[in-house]
Structure 1
Amino acid sequence: MRTQPPSVLTDQQLVAQVLGGDTAAFGQLVQRTQGLVTQLVFKMIRHPADRPDLAQEVYLKVFKNLAGFKFQAKFSTWVGQVTYNTCLHYLEKKQLVLLDPTEPAPAAAVEDGRRAPPPLVAGPETDPETALFDQDLTDILSAAIEQLPPLYRTLIALYHQQELSYEEIAQITSLPDGTVKNYLFRARKQLKQHLLARYQRTDL
């Protein structure tokens, strides 16, 4: 019987192979989740020197606890949860905050009526001048996002860049769905206020 290449195997099949002694299959699981892990670590942790060690710690924990994962959620969601908790522990140990404690408690969820995460900037255009303008906007937006609290940066990355659902983000962060929606609303509001304060409307 012909063996299927790792790229076409499901996460569950790859996990079974790892647990059966095929440690090479773990590399495929890393490839499938490293984008999510990188996003979380980079948005939650400001100190660049600590990021590689934290990412390594995440995958060590994933490997160590793989046998206990029962696929009650997507594998990537579980890895995201391990990453989030690892970064949270780091912040607590360094006495750093994920969100300013002066932030008011979330009120009722703000429903935006969308199911698919909307892009924060327009997609690429074929016109070089337009593409350059879009890149400038992307750079401006990225710089503004970095001014947000770590939790807001993280939620924006998960929703707009990783395109995760509210439910998946809630599972990763252990926050209620309504709180995720509310914090995302606040993050966008702060982002807009920062951009309007930093740049003239005609510059954007």
Structure 2
Amino acid sequence: MSLPFPHNIPDKHLVDRVLGGDKQAFAVIIQQTEALVAQMVFKMIQRPEDRKDLVQEIYLKVYKNLSGFRYQSKLSTWIGQITYNACISYLRAKQLLLPGYGLADEDGETRGANEAVETEEADNRIFQKQRTALVQQALEKLSPIHRTLITLYHQEEMSYQEIGAITSLPEGTVKSYLFRARKALKENLLLNYKREEL
């Protein structure tokens, strides 16, 4: 019988309960990490039909290897590492990985007195959506590794150290790749922006 879960249950208690046969505890692990796993898979894997299978495969690996988790990092970082390696294996199998990258390589209408203000707000929302779309388009042109590093650093707000633990890359390499990724993103953004202007 499963016991209720406190909001911030420590990794060790959660893992112990899964290893003790508590299926609800594994559901909690999935719930706590699915946003990170989904972000990484979405950024690294282009084919939508392959993403769902890969996520299932990742959590199967997590479940099978949970007894080998040694608490040298956070559980979420360890699961991120499994996710990254699964995505790299997929890209290698499909020959989609660029050489030099790898596991340890370097609205409706407005009316009335406030119409002008409402119109301006609507324009701002549209601009925001367009800007988000432009960033997304620019991101899509980056390599899977660069997309993932930008996602982990800027969206998941992970440190260089945490990203290094997930990707098995040295901190210096993470910084170097991030620098290159940002530079490429900026170039792609400028290209897209100019195209939009035409």
TM above 0.5, yes or no, is yes
**SS in structure 1 opposite 2:142?**
coil
- Aligned-residue CA RMSD (Å): 2.3
Q: Which has the higher helix share?
A: 2
Which residue does the alignment assign to 1:89? Answer: 89
The aligned residue for residue 195 of structure 1 is 189
Shift of 1:145: 0.4
CA distance in 2, matches of 1:6, 1:24: 13
Question: How big is each residue's C-alpha offset from its partner over 1:133-173, in whole Å with a ceiling of 9 and x where there is no partner?
Answer: 22221111011101111111111111111111100000110
- 2:69 maps to what in 1? 69
**Is the aligned partner of 1:177 residue 2:171?**
yes
> Which runs of structure 2 are paired with 1:55-204 in the superposition (5 Å)?
55-97=55-97, 99-101=98-100, 127-200=121-194
CA 1:198 to 1:128, structure 2 compared with 1: closer, same or farther past 3 Å? closer
Partners in 1 of 2:47 and 2:155 — Cα distance?
Answer: 21
TM-score, scaled relative to structure 1: 0.80
In structure 2, how many angstroms separate the alpha carbons of the residues matched to 1:84 and 1:137? 28
- Between the aligned partners of 1:142 and 1:196, the Cα distance in structure 2 is 13
Q: Tell whether the 8 Å contact from 2:138 to 2:192 is kept in structure 1 after alignment.
A: no
Q: Deviations over 1:82-105 (max 9, x none)?
A: 0111111111122221x3559xx9
Q: Separation in 1 of the partners of 2:148 and 2:179?
A: 13
Asked if the contact 1:170–1:177 (Cα under 8 Å) also holds between the matched residues in 2, the reply is yes
User: Does the C-alpha gap of structure 1 residues 6 and 189 become closer, same or farther in structure 2, counting only changes over 3 Å?
Assistant: same
Amino acid at match of 2:9: L
Residues 100 and 149 in structure 1, CA contact (< 8 A), matched pair in contact too: no
Q: Deviations over 1:37-63 (max 9, x none)?
A: 111111111111111111111100100
Give the CA deviation at 1:5.
2.6
2:14 & 2:56 partners in 1: Cα distance? 20
Structure 1 residue ranges without an equivalent (≥5): 107-126
**Aligned counterparts of 1:201 and 1:95: Cα–Cα separation in 2:** 30
Q: Which residue of 1 aligns with 2:26?
A: 26
Distance in 2 (CA, whole Å) between partners of 1:95 and 1:129 is: 43
* Alignment partners' CA distance in 1, 2:126 and 2:7: 35
Q: Secondary structure at the match of 2:7?
A: helix
Query: So what's the TM-score if we normalise by structure 2?
Result: 0.82
- Tell me the secondary structure at the aligned position of residue 7 of structure 1: coil
Counterparts of 1:60 and 1:202, CA distance in 2? 43
Q: Number of residues paired by the alignment?
A: 179
